[in-house]
């Protein structure tokens, strides 16, 4: 007979997922993944499917960081500074989404799917920019807490 008192790793992962999605960072990353998926669908339906590369890369990066932060691997893998890496990911994602979305919205006459992808891309760019801002505030507060004294008398 199976031991029912042993913890199930799959149930533990689902519990971590449920609890992480309730946090602010979890909601932002989940929204980034969902918006990137919607943008991929829009660009795939348009005549110019090449713009989907940004959405695919950003969705994969957001899924990667979602998994890292959800499983709390950022506290175990200390070789990488995860906060700064996430800051660069979100900042670059915001810039790329805004640039490609403006190109698609401005030059997408006659292609409704491309314009829709551009509009969703602008929304995603704003979301990524907000994520960058929240991460920047976190970095700033960490720097204030760990700042060294500059007093010469010490």
- At 45-99, the pLDDT tens digits run 999 888 899 999 999 999 999 999 999 999 999 999 999 999 999 999 999 999 9
In the prediction, which pLDDT does 144 show?
A: 82
- Residue pointed to by tokens 């801002």: 133
Q: Where are the domains of the chain?
A: 23-142
The answer, yes or no, to whether residue 154 has pLDDT greater than 90, is no
- Residue 144 sits at the vertex; the CA angle it makes with 77 and 134, to the nearest 5 degrees, is 65
In the prediction, which pLDDT does 50 show?
A: 86
- Residue 44 sits at the vertex; the CA angle it makes with 25 and 48, to the nearest 5 degrees, is 115
Span 97-121, pLDDT tens digits: 999 999 999 998 899 999 999 999 9
Query: Of 34, 32, 56, whose CA–CA distance to 44 is shortest?
Result: 56
In the prediction, which pLDDT does 9 show?
A: 75
Are the beta carbons of 58 and 125 closer than 8 angstroms?
Answer: no
**Tally of CA atoms within 13 A in the half-sphere of 127 that contains its CB:** 23
H/E run at residue 84: helix 82-107
What is the pTM assigned to this prediction? 0.86
Average pLDDT (8-13) is: 78
**Cα-only R_g, the chain:** 20
In the prediction, which pLDDT does 84 show?
A: 95
CA 35 remoteness from chain centre = 10
With a pLDDT cut of 70, the percent of the chain lying above it is: 90
What the block records as the tokens of 71 is: 């499983």
């Amino acid at each position: 007979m199976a031991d029912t008192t042993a913890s199930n790793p799959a149930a533990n992962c689902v519990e971590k997922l449920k609890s992480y999605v309730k946090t602010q960072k979890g909601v932002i990353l989940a929204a980034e993944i969902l918006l990137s998926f919607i943008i991929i669908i829009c660009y795939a339906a348009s005549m110019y499917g090449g713009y989907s590369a940004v959405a695919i890369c950003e969705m994969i990066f957001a899924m990667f960081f979602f998994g890292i932060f959800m499983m709390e691997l950022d506290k175990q893998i200390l070789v990488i500074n995860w906060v700064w890496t996430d800051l660069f990911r979100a900042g670059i994602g915001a810039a790329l989404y805004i640039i490609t979305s403006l190109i698609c919205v401005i030059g997408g006459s006659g292609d409704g799917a491309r314009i829709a992808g551009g509009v969703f891309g602008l929304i995603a760019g704003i979301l990524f920019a907000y994520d960058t801002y929240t991460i920047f505030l976190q970095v700033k507060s960490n720097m204030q807490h760990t700042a060294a004294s500059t007093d010469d008398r010490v």
